[in-house]
């Protein structure tokens, strides 16, 4: 199932953005603070209604789908890691199954194991650390087995080991056919782990394509106003200034 933005505009935050996103791959959305990254992700998730344009599944306006059908298609992880109810972790993760009307243990157990949080199953959600909370909320999304995973800064509260574990899990999800769209500030993670990078600047599309092209040092200097260069081998690149 293709996910597309067609000439999407939102207030002054996005201006006529058009993208065709393919399943089975990881797309990173990058850009400076205030570039419109979270706004674009919220529009793709159906949480914002564009002033102009539309978001579509296989060419069909996503707004014509029922909330349940959209929830089956899209798993969304917001930037703010807030838990309203102090329920056990397992109960929280099981909420990811709500669009399907079940609490199947298979997907829940597999996700808890994959994100290394099975040992937290009986803990109260509001007793968790910031990094634990981030992994539990992502587990809730993944337990629903969505066709599209949209995550806003999913690595922000994680240590490097759990960042890499999470990225491997998202790669596995993409290899199994899911579409993965991530808002990332870490350009090295985008370069090394994404298949495609979309760069936004002041609500407009500044670059879109292969990681090497969209994150070319000339693009980074133009958008972020910082001179940089890449070092290292493909898939193991590091960004340094100058």
pLDDT tens digit string along 206-219? 999 999 999 999 99
- When the pLDDT of each residue in the chain is averaged and rounded to a whole number, the result is 92
Q: Is the pLDDT of residue 81 over 80?
A: no
* Percent of the chain residues topping a pLDDT of 90: 70
pLDDT on residue 79: 85
- Chain segment 111-163, per-residue pLDDT in tens: 999 888 999 999 999 899 888 888 899 899 999 999 999 999 998 878 898 88
Domains detected in the chain = 3-81+145-241 (3.40.50.300)
User: Whole-prediction pTM value?
Assistant: 0.92
pLDDT on residue 221: 97
Buried b (16+ CB within 10 A) or exposed e, 199-216: bbbebebbbbeebeebbb
Write down how long the chain is.
242
141 vs 111: CA distance, rounded Å: 9
Find the range with the poorest average confidence among 35-44, 160-169, 211-220.
160-169
């Amino acid at each position: 199932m293709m996910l597309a933005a067609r000439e999407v505009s939102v207030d002054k935050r996005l201006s006529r953005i058009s993208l065709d996103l393919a399943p089975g791959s990881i797309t990173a959305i990058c850009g400076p603070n205030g570039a419109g990254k979270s706004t674009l992700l919220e529009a793709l998730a159906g949480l914002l209604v564009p002033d102009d344009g539309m978001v579509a599944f296989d060419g069909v306006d996503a707004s014509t789908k029922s909330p349940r059908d959209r929830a089956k298609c899209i798993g969304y992880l917001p930037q703010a890691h807030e838990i309203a109810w102090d329920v056990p972790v397992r109960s929280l993760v099981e909420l990811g199954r709500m669009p399907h009307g079940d609490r199947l243990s298979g997907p829940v157990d597999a996700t808890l194991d994959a994100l290394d949080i099975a040992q937290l199953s009986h803990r109260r959600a509001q007793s968790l650390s910031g990094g634990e909370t981030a992994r539990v909320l992502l587990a809730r999304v993944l337990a629903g087995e969505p066709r599209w995973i949209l995550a806003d800064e999913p690595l922000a509260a994680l240590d490097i080991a759990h960042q890499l574990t999470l990225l491997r899990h998202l790669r596995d999800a993409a290899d199994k056919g899911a579409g993965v769209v991530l808002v990332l500030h870490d350009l090295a993670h985008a370069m090394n782990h994404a298949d495609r990078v979309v760069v936004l600047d002041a609500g407009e599309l500044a670059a879109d394509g292969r990681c090497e092209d969209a994150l070319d040092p000339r693009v980074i200097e133009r958008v972020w106003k910082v001179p940089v260069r890449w070092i290292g081998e493909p898939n193991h690149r590091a960004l340094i200034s100058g």
